[in-house]
Copies of this chain bind each other. A is one copy, B any other.
Amino acid sequence: MRIRPYNFFAGPAALPLEVIERAQAELSDFKGIGMSLMEISHRSKEYEEIHDETQQLFKELLQLPEEYKVLFLQGGASTQFSMIPMNFLVPGKIANYVMTGAWAEKAILEARKIGDVFISASGEANNYVEIPSLEDIQVYPQTAAYLHITSNETIAGTQFHSFPRIKNVPLIADMSSDILSRPLDVSQFALIYAGAQKNLGPSGVTVVLLREEIVRNIPENLPVMLKYDTFTKHNSLYNTPPVYSIYIVNLVLKWIKQHGGLVSLEKRNAEKAKLIYDAIDQSGGFYTGMVKLNSRSLMNITFKVHDDELEKLFLQQSKANHFIGLEGHRSVGHLRASTYNAVPYEACKALTDFMIDFQKRYG
């Protein structure tokens, strides 16, 4: 194998090398059956073991309370943006959203197609460089269907570091870009969803964790594939699930477990992000972080070089030095280093060294 680049893509993103190698080794002959996992029935015992074990690993890593279910869906977080209001925004109720940037906005647009939406708090006034403080989140429990947050804004580079608790209001979170990056008290949430392609595996599967009681009153007449209770009743096997994506998620979860679980990952992720944020903060203004200190994401580090031309040069030279995916999202530009679970410490150290060296040469 050729040199493995330092992969800072925002998603699909780096996977652990051990996972890739294991997947490669057993691609054509899965556990001695002489066939690929891709070419056997989703009702076969070999696949069912993967399916059940993957759910079990989520339960174990997140210490899920008994009443939570692990579901596998398709269509990405973008499909969840619609499913949530379709399932839970019943007439007479209001959906509450914290508006934190591009992804929250997409969720809100879809909810508005279904019913009434109230913006409980918004970072718009300060251009989304800060997560609204928990005290500023307004929710009226009597009419609230739920409160929705985006735990990590991949594009802006902001992250919730604690979560709102509103009595009698189900809390729903899009955790696509920070799920399993830190220990989590799931009992605070009625539903958590995440597209896999950042911290969990390849694209093609969306993981939903939900408290089972919330699926009791789902409107009967929804499309079968858009009702959460189709997935709870059929254990996510109503139709053919995205078998191979779930299998890779399975391997990623085992890798997390082998590396000490979420407590250990949180520590490592904090160390990785600190390296890069320190290089920014100690650059005397050569580099600037794009968001407020209290809202910095440990998953997506957005920053810029003080001069646009130098920034272009930075990107060029970074590519030549095996750094991949450092462009900011096309809607905001500048730079972004995504430091998900599978991005090694060594890659972050190498980036930091490169940043310091670049500054020495052009600062």
Give A residues with C-beta under 8 Å from B. Answer: 1-5, 7, 9-15, 20-21, 23-24, 27-29, 32-36, 38-44, 74-79, 81-82, 86, 109-110, 113, 195, 197, 201-205, 221-226, 238-245, 248, 324-325, 330, 342
Decide if A24 touches B28 in the complex (CB within 8 Å).
Answer: yes
> What secondary structure prevails in chain A residues at the interface with B?
loop
C-alpha gap A86/B86 in the complex (Å): 14
Residue from the list B29, B41, B79 in contact with A10, Cβ < 8 A: B41
Also in contact, A242 and B203, with CB within 8 A (given A33-B5, A36-B20, A113-B221)? yes
Considering the complex, give the chain B residue whose CB is closest to the CB of A73.
Answer: B75
With a cutoff of 8 Å between Cβ atoms, the chain B residues found around residue A325 in the complex are 40-41
A363 CB → nearest B CB, Å:
30
Residue from the list B4, B27, B205, B226 in contact with A35, Cβ < 8 A: B4
What are 27 A-to-B residue pairs whose CB atoms are below 8 Å?
A1-B29, A1-B34, A2-B32, A2-B34, A9-B41, A10-B41, A11-B41, A12-B41, A12-B42, A12-B243, A15-B38, A15-B39, A24-B27, A39-B202, A40-B324, A42-B203, A74-B74, A75-B79, A76-B239, A79-B225, A82-B225, A109-B224, A113-B223, A203-B240, A203-B244, A204-B242, A204-B244
